[in-house]
Amino acid sequence: EGATKFIEYRVRGARSKKDARTIARTISDSTLVKAAMFGRDPNWGRVLCAAGNADVDLDPSKVDLFMGDTSRQMQVLDRGAPVDLDRNALKKLLRNSHIQIDLDLHEGRATAVAWGADLSTDYVLFNSVYTT
């Protein structure tokens, strides 16, 4: 239906498996994160905002965030603070069809993975004219 990227969301360091799953799924369901990945925009604010919407206690000042493809990840947040990085290099990694977003909460030992796709203009167009 027009998706251009497969996105793997990995959450680690959660207090429980349920918390990790909830956060991973909430991020993967975020239309703003999906749109950012389509646009190759390493917008950490959208990812952190989605994680915060998961209705799970987390401390943003502890969060590490990594983005990239299956061969290379770049750290975007270090304990909640933006990392000085080469945004153009990261945008090149986000061009690939398989993207990884890793979030370490530093709250516990639980992990989870969720999968999703980007939100492309083709997807929006297809679904805007599709009638059931």
User: What is the three-state SS of 73-98?
Assistant: EEEEEECCEECCCCHHHHHHHCCCCE
Q: Is the pLDDT of residue 132 over 80?
A: no
What's the confidence (pLDDT) of residue 126? 81
Residue 127: pLDDT above 90? no
- Could you give the angle at which helices 17-29 and 44-52 cross, rounded to 10 degrees? 130
Q: What is the mean pLDDT of residues 94-104?
A: 97
Partners of residue 10 on adjacent β-strands: 102, 113
Given pLDDT bands bounded at 50, 70 and 90, which one contains residue 8? very high
* Percent of the chain scoring above 90 in pLDDT: 87
d(Cα 18, Cα 4) in Å, to the nearest integer?
29
State both tokens at 18.
Answer: 């349920």
66 pLDDT more than 80: yes
Percent of the chain whose pLDDT exceeds 70: 99
Residues 6 or more apart whose Cβ sits within 8 Å of residue 63: 48, 51, 77, 79, 80, 103, 104, 105, 106
pTM score, two decimals? Answer: 0.92
- 101-116: pLDDT as tens digits: 999 999 999 999 999 9
Task: List pLDDT tens digits, range 18-64.
Answer: 999 999 999 999 999 999 999 999 999 999 999 999 999 999 999 99
Domains and CATH numbers, the chain: 6-129 (3.10.20.340)
**Token match 């965030």: residue?**
65
